[in-house]
Each structure stands twice: as C-alpha cells, then as structure tokens.
Structure 1
Amino acid sequence: MAHIEFGVPERALLLALMALGGSADNPTLKARVGTALDGASRRRLNDLKLVTSVKEGRAYRHTMEDAGWAWCAGEMSAEPPAGSTLGRALYVVLGMLGEKLDRTDLSLAEFVTEDLVLDAEATGPEPVEPARVTARISDAELEERVRTAYLQVAARPGSWVPLTAVRPLLGDAPRDQVDDVLRRMERGADVFIAPEADQKSLTDQDRAAAVRVGDRDKHLLAIEVR
C-alpha cells in the first residue's frame, strides 16, 4: 500500500502516539502535543485501521495498530511537510532514526520500547508461575472466566483495567492457555488489549502479567458489552 499523506496535525498526532509507546488517551495527547485526536481525524485514522480508539470514561484512548507502526516507519523516509524550520528538523531526526533501524534487527515498535525492556530485564522481575491444575478447561469456558473477571474489576464496560487485576480471578487456568485465549479474544470486535502508555509507571507485577501480542507486551484490557 502506498504511503498515506496527512496534514501536519495528523502527522504530529501519529508520531506522538508512536513516541508514547503506541497508546495514549486524549488528555495525554493534549498535554504532550497540544491537541487531541478527535473528530474527523480520529474517524479517518480509525477507518484506515492505523489507530484503534476506545471511549474510556469521557475521553478516547488510542492504540497504534500494525498499519500505524508501518506508517510511522514510512514517515522516516518521507518528505517533511512545508512549514517551520523546526518541523523540517524533526524529519532530519526521523531520517537518522530510520537509518539506525535499517542497520539493526529492531522493528520501530521494539526500538521505541527497547530501553524499557532492558530496564525490566536488569531488575529481573519474577515471572508469574502457571498454577498447578488437574485438568485443562475449554477455551470457551476460559473466555467466559475472563469476561466475568473483567466485569468484577472494571468501573464500567469498555473501561481499561490492568491485567494484574484480572489474572488472579481466573482460578487455576494455565498461563499459556490464558495468553492464547486473550490473543484470540482481541481479534473480536468487542475486546481490546493495549500496552500501558506510561511505561515508566509499570511495576514488576504489571510487566509479569502482560500478554505478548506479536512483538509487544500489552498490559491493559477493555471489553465492551456484547
């Protein structure tokens, strides 16, 4: 697919969302960039499947999809938008970053979170040990457990909750089966799993409870009413 051209506001929001780890709500974007992702811009990025947006309370939370990461990577070799010298300088920096990625085996998403991952490895958090079980339950039953557990801890359907709050409520389900079911559920229309935007706020428990989706660890779960 050809690289999509956007105006300056949409470019800035996509690049800011990338720099924030791929997930942020509108108050965070407003504070960090000076504008929120809303209205026609949000609908366009959603329709293009670059970003998924979920209402969390009164504000939207936006999560970069694979196509969004690909767009940001493509922007590193794109022409800068006409305008300020500062904007053109930003694209010089993006080009330098693109050259670094070309020289390494890191994807853009991995590069953005590389230091955080290294910090987590240095502290050596204890992994969540799979519970001992006598029999493996069905995936369908485990999905219902996840949905029930989510509703027990969520303020309202569709709000984000940490996986650290959900996993302890799943009984003796094996860790690998829980992760597989979560990944399958995320492919549905009503389930969203996202990384924590503020990676520095993550505890060892948050990191250990994350589910690996593709090349990213995701820490937050939202389920809408079916």
Structure 2
Amino acid sequence: MTDRLGHHQTAAMLTLMALGRQVLNPELKELVGFTLTGKDRTQLQDGGYITSVQVSKPGRPYAHELTEDGWAWCLEELAVGSPPETRAQSHLCSALYVFASRLGEHLGRRNLQWADIIPGPAKSLENRIRTAYLELVSEPRGWVALVDLRPKLGGAPAEEVDVVLKELSRTGKAHLVPEENRKALTTADHQAAIRIGGEDNHLISIEAS
C-alpha cells in the first residue's frame, strides 16, 4: 500500500472520510481533540490527499476536505487492520481498525463499496454546490450566477466543479443556461461559465433534493 501516515494525520483523514464533506479546524478539534495544522496539514496537502483553504470566518480557520487520492488512501488504510505504530497506541484504536477491516470485507462479499455507505469526494462537492446555491438563491429553483457560486466552494478546483455540474445537468438535478443579456457579462462571468453542448452557460438552477 501507499506510505502510512502518523496518528494525527491518519485520524484527521479518516474523520474527513467519515463525514464526507469540508471540515473546519474547530470542528475537527471538537471531534478528535486536535486541529490539522503545521507540517501535518502541509504534508497531506502537498501529497494530494486533502484540499485545505482558509475561510472567511472569525479567526480565518482552515477548512479541509479529502481529494480522490485521499479517499483511495483511506480505503487502503482501513484494509490494513491495525493502526500505525506509536508508543501511546490505544486498545480502542486497534479495535476500531479491526472493525473497519472486517466491515470492508463484509461489504466486498456483497459487491458493495465504502462509497455505498459513505459519500466520496464527488458527492461531497455536490453537497457543497447545493449549500452554496441555497445561500445565494432568492426563491425556490431560482437562477444563480456561476460567477457568484464558484467562490463559495472553498477553493475546489474548477475542473472538479465542472464535472459535478455537468453530471447534475445530465441527470436533470440542475439546469444550466446562458445569460441572455450578453452585453452584461463581465470577464469574470466568462471565466466562471461552463461549456456544454458547444455553448457557454452562466446561470444555474438546482432542483430540491
């Protein structure tokens, strides 16, 4: 498997996997007793396991979320069956690893995957898009400009956002349309647009889930 990580990094990664969404440092501290900072954070980010951005809230805390590579690492880690070695390794931690490993085997025998019971990164990004949309929209199924939506996604890469938006459009969960008044479009509007069917779309309406 890939290299194993330290206890703090492993605990943070598995917590992000279990929650399946972006998690602020204060919430992480409440859940597992520490925040993801310093080398622990930068190593995970540089390794491509997480995205980590400062958000515009009091104290500007970091918000972390698993990437696809991070999700894959967690799956390998859970299959090991025992936690990384440490002088202070707890029996409870060991027991949880055994439980996770056995659960993974149980899912496999039934042709199921962890993603069937815990949302992966793509689903998490969809949830963030829906949350940002609801914060911006003024009426049910109203139209929101992509130029306003994208900045609220915590720094999610544009290409990953586009993949989710196209899937939402394909499945009818969202509707994407061009701005009729092309003269009103700014450079930012053009950059935030998503191209589908040879046409740039600037507005989104999302169906209630």
Q: Given the two structures, how large is their TM-score scaled by the length of structure 2?
A: 0.57
Q: Secondary structure at the match of 1:37?
A: coil
Query: How far apart are 1:208 and its partner, in Å?
Result: 2.7
The equivalent residue for 1:80 is 83
Q: Secondary structure at the match of 2:65?
A: strand
Q: Does the 8 Å contact 2:53/2:154 carry over to 1?
A: yes
Structure 1 residues 207 and 105: CA distance shift in structure 2, 3 A: farther
Give the Cα–Cα distance (whole angstroms) in 1 for the partners of residues 21 and 113 of structure 2: 13
AA aligned opposite 1:109? A
The equivalent residue for 1:146 is 146
Corresponding position: 1:40 with 2:39: yes
Stretch moving more, 64-73 or 78-87: 78-87
Give the Cα–Cα distance (whole angstroms) in 2 for the partners of residues 183 and 10 of structure 1: 36
The equivalent residue for 2:128 is none
AA aligned opposite 1:59? P
Where relative contact order (Cα < 8 A, 6+ residues apart) is larger, the structure is 1
1:99 to 102, 105, 108: 105
Give the Cα–Cα distance (whole angstroms) in 2 for the partners of residues 6 and 77 of structure 1: 14
Give the Cα–Cα distance (whole angstroms) in 2 for the partners of residues 43 and 95 of structure 1: 28
Q: Does the 8 Å contact 1:76/1:97 carry over to 2?
A: no
Give the Cα–Cα distance (whole angstroms) in 2 for the partners of residues 207 and 28 of structure 1: 29
What 5-or-longer segments of structure 2 have no aligned partner? 124-139, 157-171, 178-190, 196-205
Where in structure 2 are the equivalents of 1:69-218 lying within 5 Å?
69-78=71-80, 79-82=82-85, 83-113=89-119, 145-147=145-147, 149-150=148-149, 175-177=174-176, 208=208
Corresponding position: 1:6 with 2:8: no
AA aligned opposite 2:30? A
AA aligned opposite 1:75? E
AA aligned opposite 1:96? R
CA RMSD of aligned residues (A): 4.1
Structure 1 residues 28 and 52: CA distance shift in structure 2, 3 A: same
Highest CA radius of gyration, 1 or 2? 2
Q: Given the two structures, how large is their TM-score scaled by the length of structure 1?
A: 0.53
Query: How far apart are 1:63 and its partner, in Å?
Result: 1.1
Q: Does the 8 Å contact 2:78/2:101 carry over to 1?
A: yes
Give the Cα–Cα distance (whole angstroms) in 2 for the partners of residues 208 and 54 of structure 1: 28
Query: How far apart are 1:150 and its partner, in Å?
Result: 4.0
Number of positions where the alignment pairs a residue of Structure 1 with one of Structure 2: 147
Query: How far apart are 1:146 and its partner, in Å?
Result: 1.4
Q: Secondary structure at the match of 2:208?
A: helix
Q: Does the 8 Å contact 2:146/2:193 carry over to 1?
A: no
Identity %: 34
